Structure 1
Amino acid sequence: MSYLKFDKTVMINLEESLTREVLRTNRLGAYHSSTVVDCNTRKYHGLLVMPVPALDDDNHVLLSSLDETVIQHEAEFNLGLHKYGENNFSPKGHKYIREYTCDTVPRTVYRVGGVIFSKEKVFSMFENRIMIKYTLEDAHSATTLRFRPFLAFRSVKELTYANGNLNQNYTVVPNGIKMCLYPGYPELFMQFSKKVNFVFDPKWYYGIEYSKEQERGYPYKEDLFVPGYFEVPIRKGETIVFSAGDSQVATTRLKTLYETEVSVRTPRTSFYNCLKNSAQQFYFRPKKQDAYLLAGYPWFKVRARDLFLAAPGCTLSIDDPVRFEKIMATALPALRAFMEDGALDPVIQEIEQPDVILWAIWAIQQYAKVVGIDKAKELYKDFIDEALEYIISQKHPGLKVMDSGLLFADGGRDKAITWMNSVVNGRPVVPRSGYIVEFNAAWYNALCFSREMNGEATNEKIDKLISAINISFPNTFVNGYNYLFDYVNGSFVDWSVRPNMIFAVALPYSPLSRMQMRSVLDIVTKELLTPKGIRSLSPKSEGYRPYCTGPQVERDLAYHQGTAWPWLLGAYLEAYLRVFGKSGAAFAERMLISMEEEMTNHCIGTISEIYDGNPPFTGRGAISFAMNVAAILRIEEMLKKYNAE
């Protein structure tokens, strides 16, 4: 039985099927995304969505969708589905769906009378190309397929409308055509593995609606251009492959190319395999010599903090240390360039944020656990030494080492400097400045890891800092209720119960006593734990907003004021296992079961960016988020080791 399977009852119920999305990506930053019934509900959805560097840094929707029609005895059965005004769906092709599975590749089976018809999709790993394999499983009469391509040629941030500037010209290529609707865009090649007849019949389809954009308070109606349609006869048992890409393909090789792509996919036959597959979808290589992790889909780019926090889980936890090394070989030179002269990297965003260096060291620490301290020293000791000296020498513009040994981060009231980075009217919603709790937990951990790397070679400067922080950290952050202040700035202390204190328990080295660790863990469990992640703010704290819905401003206000984050669940469970050891493994496994349920929700086979802080804990935000996937993979790996022992 398929792990990701939806039967007819789910597929024909649009309230169920339109909430489930699909994502397939390649290493170039391009992707295919839609719903399981192939009805686009976001402006980010499309069959072929790809970067167009000649225009900007955004992704662009070239081919929005492809409507298939089955023709028998001159009767037409259109399998497409689009939403129009007044909640009108047309042509309602979902009513023909018998089942949908998404193991190795997404597969939809249709039944139209005596016709059983399947389609499978694969997104090319190293080319900007979507391939769809159509198979006529059964038929009792002569059958013809008709395909109508819906073209957009616009940024994922925009919508397109009927206009006279569009170039309707097309050029015939082997078994298809190529088109380019507007200057600056690449040509779109639409080809089949079999000779087809293209009928030029240009039409605009007006007022197609995207419900997710409407929910989020954005413009949600657009017009799409259909240049005509392809027709091709198909025999019972025959397979035809369609390709849409920015380069011409040898049509005689399409079936082989399709099967080759399928053969290297990780079958999504278990929770772990789903996470592994999802982790690999974040790999980004715009140039062969580079390796990055995208922060999430469909709208995030490469972000420094996310990259270092996600790299161990997305590589080491799926037994790919070489990928980790490649990512670090790209990212660490960018960090060094920033440390040398403040240079900002053109690809890795937010590299100047004060805690980025600390998370880079933490990532190396995870690598050392996997490959051994000697290999880690060989590759990364010099960087760690340089990075700590850079901070200790007061060279980082956003950090200052105080006499107490703690790090003081100024400026957080005017701009967002932590992961809690939502902004309204140019000001951070959660202004955090001064002694920030997770900064100092990561700082202490980095210093101790450096001492571990040095072995018997003592570093007096680092030893003094560690000794000082052992005293100053609990004195500064532990309050009378035995949890940690979120940040301290002069006489001001933030009493809000937030999840950032969990890092003082979860990180390998902690300045807290075991009793203090237990107290922190207890309050996080009581006030912040949900089945889908750790709340960003306690319901008992002022300003709690559990639902991240509505227009942009409303969502920004709620983003870190109560929503639950799965990546924090990873830190929480790591802390739980640290405090309770093997006896905590059963609890951690139960928590992961609640995350496994998400494999069939929101974007199937992956984990959403955030979840509501209150029941039913609905997934929101980006449909696939790297830090979340990575954190759960790391906990899966830890539990395997506990069970093995």
Structure 2
Amino acid sequence: MTNLEESLRRELLRTNRSGAYACSTIVDCNTRKYHGLLVVPVPELDDENHVLLSSLDVTVVQHGAEFNLGLHKYQGNNYSPKGHKYIREFDCDKVPTTIYRVGGVVLKKEVVFQHYEDRILLRYTLVDGHSATTLRFRPFMAFRSVRQFTHENSTASRAYDEVDNGIRTCMYAGYPYLYMQFSKKNEFIFNPDWYRGIEYPKEQERGYASNEDLYVPGYFEMPIKKGESIVFSASTSEIKTGKLSKLFEEEVESRAPRDNFFHCLVNAAHQFHIREKNDDRYLLAGYPWFKCRARDTFISLPGLTLAIDEQDYFEFVMKTASKALREFMAGKPVTGKIYEIDQPDVPLWAIWSIQQYAKFAGKERCTEMYGQLLEEIIHYIIDGNHPNLRLDDNGLLYSDGRDKAITWMNSTAYGRPVVPRSGYIVEFNALWYNALKFCASIASGNGREREAADLEELAKVCGESFVGTFLNEYGYLYDYVDGNMVDWSVRPNMIFPVAFDYSPLSKEQKRSVLDICTRELLTPKGLRSLSPKSGGYNPMYVGPQTQRDYAYHQGTAWPWLGGFYMEACLKLYKNTRLSFIERQMVGYEDEMNYHALGSISELFDGNPPFHGRGAMSFAMNVAEVLRSIKLLALQYTYQK
């Protein structure tokens, strides 16, 4: 904890499952502009999150001597006030807990974010103290979007109102009030000032501006006795402070432990949950900057719900997502908050997601819940109603991606896709074949034999064309084919027809594809997005934005692709690959102690030592690792 080289690389994320979060490093030194103690959506302003309370510095006062436990980075690599040197212990098995020792004073800090409320709670307990002790709390406020910075200005309001055991204040019009309250009576000393030149090194690494000024309105002060606990609340609404201690205990009690790999991932899965006030349910694509994206939602949904036996949440999210999908297919404005629903593979991934539901809940329940939706999607595609998804006479789907990124490989530079995948795209058509066969089985099981036969016939045509179009003489699959343009790059998208339940490939063809993925793409952190033997290989996701955009899908490793790789291994080799897959999982278990503790980063460098990069917590990665664990458990059950 006292070694900043180690501690500043580890981040702590807590969410309220309604879009708000608290995030910083484990030593409470903010290193990103996205970090903050209370970061909330402000829909009245825009659809971004906003940092209201950046941090809270605590000072221990004893015999007139002050010991500030805070930590900020300033320009010139200066850290102040270096409160990390007082940290003696850190634990986050249940709730993040930090033990500070200042001479004879031992102070414990615990943190929880109240579920479904924009309220962060911190509890301070004086574990030991041999003489009179006072605590001083200094709030650092920002009141700005996570994508911007705040600087000293004369517009910021210094006004505040006293509320129950605290104050409320609002720096700018249009923002909600920030309520800062304690469970104990205290004195607020109004002493407004700006702390200038605070620096965020993660933004520097990414080639962005990295400095801002934070406003401190003053400080709260109160005595604390040995064994006493004080709860601090920061929120957009007032609370009766007599409830704070009980509320904190209730929130702690409702937390699941993070005492092993699986429990960490379950907790991470719950952090992606978003419940709106109208009871719409979403899955956030990742923290700290992603929104709810359609493709990510359908790929993540089975792993984040069914793999941890939460069928009800699958149904909640699918209810919201299917409404948005139907609106799009009907040509109506999408009323929900799901982005990128117009991407051509989104309806195909929706069918795959429902297919996983059928395996979990049974085909009868699946037909009851989603049979009509499946039929609508299939006919929407067959009838050629999607603006960028054309069904050709050869049974394959064609999409135009020359000028706009349309697949999950969506990085752009100077307004153009870095990987312009266009024409017959391999995973689109693998999804299409799988969807036709699955929907045929649903129709047959529901007594619609004529429809099932039509879908089977279309799947047969698609399957024959798939093999003839994508399989090359070297035993792997082209990434896309567009007329005379054939992409020979060895990319991980060919793993999907090996992993899916229905595939046009023979067993030998699957083995050939899987072997090439193993030799050229497999890493301890998933599959590379491009083989080192292919032109343009760029495995290090570092540097300014444009440099990172060119590396994003040109060799970086993605754990969610590794999930489909492991599923393919189990389908082809069953028990003989169990120990191999378990060893692959160890590479993810190590990640629980890095980046966002207990979660998995967005992507990893494609070369050793495979550093985690990008967003600190990524839904598709957590989902596919959870689904892999479930598939492993099922395989062991079959073995017995």
**TM-score using structure 2 length:** 0.98
Unpaired runs of 5+ residues, structure 2, are none
Query: Aligned ranges for residues 233-248 of structure 1 at < 5 Å?
Result: 233-248=223-238
Residue 641 (structure 1) aligns with: 634
Report the Cα offset of residue 154 of structure 1: 0.5
Q: Which one of 421, 437, 443 corresponds to residue 448 of structure 1?
A: 437
Q: Which moved more, 1:279-288 or 1:38-47?
A: 279-288
1:264 and 1:557 map into 2 onto residues whose CA distance is: 44
- Offset at 1:369? 0.7
Once residues 334 and 488 of structure 2 are traced to their aligned partners in structure 1, the CA distance between those partners, rounded to angstroms, is 35
1:466 and 1:342 map into 2 onto residues whose CA distance is 30
Retained in 1: the 8 A contact 2:165–2:241? yes
Give the 3-state SS of the residue equivalent to 2:54 in structure 1: strand
Deviations 1:30-50 (A, max 9, x none): 000000000000000000000
The answer to whether the 8 Å contact 1:48/1:129 transfers is yes
Within 1, Cα distance between the matches of 2:48 and 2:386?
Answer: 31
Deviation (angstroms), 1:288: 3.5
Structure 1 ranges of 4+ moved more than 6 A:
none
Q: Offset of 1:104 from its aligned partner?
A: 1.1
Task: Tell me whether 1:306 sits opposite 2:296 in the alignment.
Answer: yes
Report the 3-state secondary structure (helix = DSSP H, G, I; strand = E; otherwise coil) of the residue aligned with 1:613: coil
1:182-197 equivalent positions in 2, closer than 5 A? 182-197=172-187
Q: In the alignment, what sits opposite 1:384?
A: 374
1:344–1:352 Cα contact (<8 Å) kept = no
Q: Confirm or deny that 1:39 pairs with 2:60.
A: no
Deviation at residue 343 of structure 1 after TM alignment: 3.3
Report SS of the residue matched to 1:232: strand
Distance 2:333 2:529 in 1: 32
1:471 to 449, 455, 464: 464
SS where residue 292 of structure 1 aligns? strand
Paired with 1:621 and 1:117, the residues of 2 have a C-alpha distance of 34
- In structure 1, the gaps of 5 or more residues are 1-10
2:236 equivalent to 1:284: no
2:415 pairs with 1:426 = yes
What SS does the corresponding residue of 1:341 show, helix, strand or coil?
coil
What are the within-5 Å matches in structure 2 for residues 151-230 of structure 1?
151-230=141-220
User: In structure 2, what is the equivalent of residue 370 of structure 1?
Assistant: 360
SS of equivalent residue, structure 2 residue 223: strand
Contact 2:116 2:275 in 1 (8 A): no
Paired residue total? 634
> Are residues 1:457 and 2:448 paired?
yes
Give the AA of the match of 1:452.
Answer: S
Residue 397 of structure 1: how far off its partner (Å) = 1.0
Please report how far the alpha carbon of residue 469 of structure 1 lies from its aligned counterpart in structure 2 after TM superposition.
Answer: 1.9
| 1:136 aligned counterpart, secondary structure | strand
Q: Deviations over 1:532-584 (max 9, x none)?
A: 11100011111111111111111111100111111001011011111111111
User: SS at 1:12's partner residue?
Assistant: coil
Measured against aligned partners, the alpha-carbon deviations of 1:103-123 in whole angstroms (never above 9, x if no partner) come to 111110011111111100001
CA distance in 2, matches of 1:496, 1:176: 61
Q: CA RMSD in A?
A: 0.9
Tell me how far apart the structure 2 counterparts of residues 357 and 342 of structure 1 sit (CA, whole Å). Answer: 16
Q: What per-residue deviation string (whole Å, max 9, x for no partner) do you get for residues 470-513 of structure 1?
A: 21111110001000000001111100000000001011111000
8 Å contact from structure 2 (residues 296, 620) kept in 1: yes
Structure 1 residue 346, shift from structure 2 partner: 4.7
> Does 1:570 find its partner at 2:571?
no
1:303 to partner: Cα distance: 0.2
Indicate if the aligned counterparts of 2:13 and 2:22 stay in contact, CA closer than 8 A.
Answer: yes
- Tell me the residue number matched to 1:417: 406
Letter in 1 for 2:598: G
Instruction: Report the more deviating stretch, 280-289 or 113-122.
Output: 280-289
- Structure 2: how far apart are the matches of 1:248 and 1:71? 28
Contact 1:82/1:90 (CA < 8 Å) preserved in 2? yes
Could you tell me which residue of structure 1 aligns to residue 575 of structure 2? Answer: 582
CA drift at 1:345: 4.5
- TM-score, length-normalised on structure 1? 0.97
Aligned mates of 2:85, 2:631 — CA distance in 1: 44
Kindly state the Cα deviation for residue 252 of structure 1 after the two structures are TM-superposed: 0.3
Identity among equivalent positions (%) equals: 62
Which amino acid in the other structure matches residue 465 of structure 1? Answer: L
Q: Which stretch of the first structure deviates more once superposed, 634-643 or 621-630?
A: 634-643
1:625 pairs with 594, 618, 630, which one? 618
Any conservation in 2 of the 1:27–1:286 contact (CA below 8 Å)? Answer: no
Report the Cα offset of residue 262 of structure 1.
1.4
CA contact (8 A) 1:345 1:351 kept: no
Q: Deviations over 1:54-81 (max 9, x none)?
A: 1111100000000001111111110000
User: Residue 595 of structure 2: SS of its match in structure 1?
Assistant: coil
